[in-house]
Amino acid sequence: MRTLITIIAIACSLQLQAQNDSIAADSVTWEKQLDGVTVVHQKKLVKMETDKMTYKVSLDEDAKTATVLDMLRKVPMVTVDGQDNISVNGSSAFQVYVDGKPNPMMTANASVIFKSMPATAVKDIEVVTNPGARYDAEGAGGVLNIIMNRQNGMAASLDGYNGSLRAVAGTNALGAGAFLSGQKGKLSYSANANYNHMHPKTTEVVSTRTANDGSTMASTTSSKTKIPFTMGSISIGYEIDSVSNINASASLTSFEMSNKGNSTVGMYGGLYGQGFNYGYDMDMKNRKTAFTGSLDYQRFLNKDRTSQFAITYVLSLSPTKNETTNIFDSNPLATIDLTNQRSDSRENTTEHILQADYTTPISEKSKFNTGLKLTARKATTDADHYLGGVYSEDASMEYSHTNNIAAAYAEYEQGIGKFTAKGGLRYEHTWQEVKYEMGNGANFSTDYGNLVPSASLSYPLSMTSNIGLTYNMRITRPGISFLNPYVDTTTPTARTYGNPDLSTEKSNNIGLVFNFYTPKLMLSAKLNQNFYDDGIEQYSFYQDGILNTTYGNIMKKSETGGTVFANWLLHKDTRLFINGGLTYAHITSDQLDAKNHGWQANVMAGVQQTLPLNLKLSAYLIASSKTYTLQGWNSGFNMLIANISKSFLDDRLSVGITANTGLGHGGKITIDSYSKGADFTNLSNISVPMQNISLNVTFNFGNTKRQAKQHVSRVQSDFIEQQSKGEMLNDMGTTPQ
């Protein structure tokens, strides 16, 4: 009887401790058996806060064999569509950080890089849905912070090292990677290296465009893309004394997207009369390289380490080179210019950031943050155009864009009973200057200021639930590719160019957040409303037989909806998962006299199951409904992802097989895209092969499992470009006609 009472007492104690730990613990499943009594507890895969979500990638079994893009499909408030385009908090305008530092390369090329990056390289993914005043105002969707698997900052572990080796071989990609981190006394270090070569199967695009003049153009394009990708990083931290440390890091990312294909085009009716056909071969290469280096110093100002000062310097270099060649078939009946064309353009962006931050408690329940930041950015573009192999000065351009930003912020947090309130103001002043060395365009300069407020209020309903109300304003500054007036004429029936008169986009976001967590169930739901009146939007119009595409501050948009994330430990061996959202969008433009509206939904639902022999099985269904743009819509998609893996040698060796496929259409994802202007309609069907199977092997080594405390940088990037629809299609290897 005494033994039974002891067992019951221990079990009750463990259950009470499990409930308390569920509030702050990371995610993993453990069990403890006491003479037949089993206590099962799910620590949290997701840390849920009022203004931020943290997905613990390193504690998800799927991470051993998945890419970062695969993991993002499971992260609350993040959506990945059928063309692998990423949205955060419902917007494609978001910032990407790596370990709290800005990474312009990942921001501009998130989809390509995350598809190539193994999830084993990442510890956590943070989604900051309500950035406070200390965050830069840039990026309507908020902040996506990638916390790498590395040691950094103040030493707090035994001397030793940990590392891993990884290899993947699949029908669409080959890759390998290595990771090493360790500590020796006051010095901590880490290094990461990854290589991946993606070679997806042929993508097909069938498009029909009709104009009010009675003309019709029908085209079929087949293309194949190859993307070799290389990424490396190194980080060093040193504990100067008990209250201060210094950290340095450097990363290099490089990839080349090459796309080769051919198109056949038929033109008839209207200004094309009896009509004619032509074809052409296309060859596009896009080379991007980025270097980011940082140095930061952190000092604690009191014994409890609640007051601190930090100063950081970041240097980013981002050279890009684009080459496009179109070789046309001759046709004497053609009424358009079919001269062979080649375009070579080079873009280079250099950015310097200097930031200082100060944090201190005012009382036991209050805290004050303040800081200053200076950003100096210069981007240059040099575009050469050739017609029939002859250089064309009229169609070429050389210009530079200087963008300097000074910012200051103050933020105050106060506890009032059970309530926690946070409010802040950030002021950013921007100086821009554009100079044309060659090409059509007038030099101009401008400066403007933005005062950006933010606020949040949270309340714990119980030990296992909380509710919060948030508000923030975000801005989006147009980048060089949006401002550049260079006219791309490599396709004879289309013209694309930027708009140097674009101004800053401002969005307002209101959210109501509910979080609930028990040892078996994690649930987060959010209702949100966002709106803006000066949105930057890509739009098209038809003129003299040519489809022109550019940008303008022409969009008014309101989105009302909600998201839900749930993770249910149904059994110690079974976990159910759902991540989805439903939004109603209303979009108008007075300038184009256009409007559109409709419901948009997306969901990822799945199961993780432990099978006999400790095999780990995961299967996920991903579905999306029609989505709406100002001038049209894109149809939805359905796909299935499954993974089975097993660990050996005390979890040091992991072997997994991953497969994914589109549902229906022979394993492909087919997406219809419709757009309508005042004088044209366009309907395209994009067929993307999705069937893929890959073998993943990861080997872990090391002599210590304890990790150093992670140093958190306080630098945020203040610059982001929205990815345009045209750029999304180019990522899939297509060319607008």
Mean pLDDT of 498-516: 90
Give 412's strand partners.
Answer: 368, 423
Query: What residues contact residue 552 under an 8 Å CB cut-off, 6+ apart?
Result: 499, 502, 536, 537, 539, 591
572 falls in which pLDDT band (50, 70, 90)? confident
Q: In whole numbers, what is the pLDDT of the chain averaged over residues? A: 84
CA 403, chain centre distance (Å): 23
3-state secondary structure 17-30: HHHHHCCCCCCCEE
Contacts of residue 253, defined as CB under 8 A and 6 or more positions apart, other chains included, come to 105, 106, 113, 230, 231, 288, 289, 290
Residue 182's pLDDT band, with cuts at 50, 70 and 90, is confident
Phi, psi for 709 (deg, rounded to 5): -65, 140
Using 50, 70 and 90 to split pLDDT, how confident is the model at 144?
Answer: confident
Three-state DSSP class for 441? Answer: coil
Closest CA to 405 of 371, 378, 373: 373
Three-state SS for 523?
strand
What is d(CA 258, CA 462) in angstroms, rounded to the nearest whole number?
54
Question: 288 Cβ partners below 8 Å, 6+ apart?
Answer: 105, 108, 109, 253, 254, 255, 256, 318, 319, 320
Q: What is the mean pLDDT of residues 267-279?
A: 90
| SS (HEC) of 96-112 | EEECCEECHHHHHCHHH
User: What's the mean pLDDT in 488-498?
Assistant: 84
CA distance 597 to 654: 47
pTM for this entry: 0.81
Q: Are 483 and 401 in contact (CB under 8 A)?
A: yes
Share of the chain above pLDDT 90, in %: 49
CA distance 700 to 707: 15
pLDDT at position 184, please? 87
Cβ atoms of 620 and 606 closer than 8 Å: yes
What are 85-94's pLDDT values in tens digits? 888 877 777 8
Amino acid at 409: Y
Rounded Cα distance, 111 and 106, in Å: 8
